[in-house]
Amino acid sequence: MKKMFYILLFVFSGFFIYGQNADAIVGTYLKADGKSKVEFYKSGTTYSGKVVWLKEPNDDKGNAKKDVKNPDKSLRDRPLLGLVTITGLKYDGEKSYTEGKAYRPAEGDEVKFKVKIMDDGTINVTGSKYGFSKTETWKKQ
């Protein structure tokens, strides 16, 4: 009986540790350009990110900035603040998240997206399209 207890304790502690590591991405990050913050959150079995702060939230006319470059004309009136721009990130161990997609409102397109949590608490985010990729470092807030 005692042996069974230790086996179960070992198994369940492994699940707890794995879940803890997977949720390490949850939080708010300042993007490399300092113009916006993205909040990562768990969405079912994957992780998503939404815009929660803009350095310049309004356009030249004082109106909230909108998703004006969206290829779908019916979505161009959406405000950027609160917009979900990152979806489908899957935790694959070793502080890495892959298989995500990131919508880039400034370009009106979507790229493949992955994240690596660094030891200093920053994250390296990589967007890829047409075989080209770019990596930035975002700082946790």
Task: Check pLDDT > 90 for residue 6.
Answer: no
- Residue 74's φ and ψ, nearest 5 degrees, are -70, -10
- What is the per-residue pLDDT across 81-111, written as a single tens digit (0 to 9) for each? 999 999 999 999 989 999 999 999 999 999 9
Report CA-CA distances (Å) from 20 to 5, 13, 104: 22, 10, 29
- 141/135 Cα distance (integer angstroms): 19
Is residue 4 scored above 90 in pLDDT? Answer: no
CA distance 22 to 97: 9
Segment 110-125 mean pLDDT: 97
Token digits of residue 50: 């939404």
How far, in Å, CA of 30 to CA of 55, rounded?
Answer: 10
pTM above 0.75? yes
Backbone phi, psi, residue 66, to 5°: -120, 170
